[in-house]
Each structure stands twice: as structure tokens, then as C-alpha cells.
Structure 1
């Protein structure tokens, strides 16, 4: 099970990078080992596009390193906080989707303009700016996820967080979020042109 989840984590990391949802070493992804208090998370400082098995470390629910080398992502506190308050969550994905960030910075919350966004995202709260890796940011994120209807949030100047039953569900939510943001931008541009081609 551990090896299978690690391989899946690597695949999702590469897909997030390929899709342009994070650049450089930004973003972090974790997966909970079912029926346990253990989590596999990408180590800090590694690009999602180059993640290998050695970059996936095992920690316990308190953040202690159990297996592997390197430091867990600096956003470990909100990953673990979501797992603690939402036992049904099996994976947490934090990425830097550019269009979603643009809307979070400009409008405060992202309008849901597609059927898929309304069906799967339902609502997307926007967390005000807090320093990445800080206790304040972790607190703000965890507060949102205490509502069991929330599975996606945006963070001003920072990115987005999705929580799913598994890694691919968390990935799909991030994909819906960014696709919705692109369509919302296109709608604004069309309106600015007076709705004419």
C-alpha cells in the first residue's frame, strides 16, 4: 500500500507540474495512508515536475519524520490540520494555479461560471494573505476546512488548496478550479469588448 500510494503521489505531482498548476518548487501534495495516522508528503524544495521516490517522505499525524530524508513541505501544518478535522479526506493538494490566484488577488473570490465548477467545487472561500508556512496561514486554512462542504479554497497571493478522498480527486478539483478561472477571465474579456467579435 505504501509503495502504491507513493507511486501515485509521484504521478500526480508530475501531472500538476505538466498542467501548469505550479512552477519551480512551489506547491506540495500529501496522501494519508488509509486507516492509519501516517501521511506521505513531498519533501521541501523539490519541484513537482522532478519528484522521485526519494522525495516522498513518511510522517505521522503530528508531523514527526518516520521514514525518508529531508524536511516535509513548509505547509505541513495545514495538511495535517485538514486530516485531523476531516477524517474522510485522503489527500491534500496545494498548488499555485495562475488564473485562480489572479482572481483571488483581484476579486476576493472566484465566480463559478461552469456547470462542473458548481457541481464539484460548490463554493470556493478565499483566505486573506498570510505568510507562507506560517501558523497564521495554517489556522486560516484549517478554519475553512472545518466546514465539511468545503473541498477547495484560494489564498490571496499564494495559490489554492484542494482536499479529496484520494489523490486524483484532489487533482481533479484543482483542474476544475483553474479551468473555471480561465473561462471566467475569457468572459470578462468578451464583456470588455462589448460582447462582440
Structure 2
């Protein structure tokens, strides 16, 4: 799971085309356990309208981002330890690796209104406001939220953000002495993290999963 798995916690959603509903990974299953038939359809009020499994209590992270941003087609929320720890330091994320340039500049927003679960529409709206038009945010001492036009984009954003945060976390106090300048970081972002390369990263993940399934006999 490339550091994104957290037992049965963490979730991803995809907007159902042409409707105010979203397909969600259900509660009670790990990310690596979910089969297509397990997915549930949830409306923007958090009601399960199709499927038999329960929804996650933090559905409002997803529904309120979808409500605020019609261009977003998928949202991911996970609890990778490097990102959760890094966000608690209160230092800016710097583009000290290629991955960091996918997000910075400007700095990745941090949601610090609470470290508790986001279980109400009001808190979901606050998360959506903090995210704004950005592709990702840190939930301080909690995890990350990423968004994208597709599930491929939102997922790869989660992997890249955690790798960037983990790299900086290895430094004393999480504070680097040198990092890529803003202008160059924007050039690198357009050169490295364009749609074709993100699709290639997703394809690699699918091949990796297929190899794992063959080895494990899944």
C-alpha cells in the first residue's frame, strides 16, 4: 500500500458522473481488501443509497469537497505516519525532492481546527475551505487529504505528498538548509508531474499489484 494503509481506516471516493453521489470504500475493510462489489454509493448528505456495507464516519470530508469543487472527481483520505508527524512540526513543506515540487509553491495548507475525526458537515466544510483549490492538505496530527480530477490523480497525489513529507522529516527538526526555488519548482512540476506521467505512475501501481497477487496466489 506504499505507506497509505492503516488497517481498516482511511478511505477514497469517486464522484458518480452526472449525479450528486459518490462511490466510497466502505468501513470495516482495508484499502487492499476492497472488491468492486464492496463499494457503496453515498449522497452528499452522507446517506448510503446503494450497497449493504456501512459508510465511514468521515464521509463529510469527501462530500463537502465535492460540493465545493465541481472539477474534483476523486478524494483520498489516509493516515500515513510521516505526513501526520511532519504536519505537527508546524514548519513549511519545502521542495527538497522532486515530489515536493508537485505541491510547493505555495505551501501545503494545514487543517488544525481539530485533530479529531471529521464527522459533521460543518467540519467537512471547514476542511474544504482550508483545501481551497489546492490538490492536498495536511490534517495536523491526523493524516492527509488529496483531491484530483480522477482517482488516479488523487491517489498519486497522496503517494507524492507522503514521500515529500517523509523526506523532510528525516532532517533535524524537519528544517532543510536548501531547497528548490519557487520558479524552478514550478518548471519541474510541469515537466515531471503532468497528466501523462501521473498516468504512468498509476499504471506502475497496477502492475505492482498484479505482481503481488501472483506471488501471493490472491
Same fold (TM over 0.5): yes
Residue 117 of structure 2: aligned partner: 132
Taking a change above 3 Å as real, the CA distance of residues 41 and 100 of structure 1, as seen in their structure-2 partners, is same
Displacement, 1:108? 5.4
Displacement, 1:144? 1.3
Is the CA contact 1:96–1:158 (under 8 Å) kept in the aligned structure 2? yes
Paired with 1:189 and 1:90, the residues of 2 have a C-alpha distance of 36
* 103-112 or 67-76: bigger deviation: 103-112
Structure 2: give runs of 5+ residues left out of the alignment.
Answer: 177-218
Structure 1: give runs of 5+ residues left out of the alignment.
Answer: 1-17, 193-197
Q: TM-score, normalised by structure 2?
A: 0.71
Paired with 1:53 and 1:179, the residues of 2 have a C-alpha distance of 28
1:128-167 matched pairs, under 5 angstroms: 128=112, 129-135=114-120, 137-145=123-131, 147-148=132-133, 150-167=134-151
Taking a change above 3 Å as real, the CA distance of residues 191 and 31 of structure 1, as seen in their structure-2 partners, is closer
Matched length: 173
Paired with 1:48 and 1:166, the residues of 2 have a C-alpha distance of 17
Q: TM-score, normalised by structure 1?
A: 0.78
Is the CA contact 2:94–2:104 (under 8 Å) kept in the aligned structure 1? no
Runs (4+) of structure 1 exceeding 4 A deviation are 189-192
Displacement, 1:189? 8.2
Paired with 1:121 and 1:169, the residues of 2 have a C-alpha distance of 17
Residue 174 of structure 1: aligned partner: 158
Aligned CA RMSD, in angstroms, stands at 2.3
Displacement, 1:73? 1.3
Paired with 1:163 and 1:190, the residues of 2 have a C-alpha distance of 25
* 163-172 or 68-77: bigger deviation: 68-77
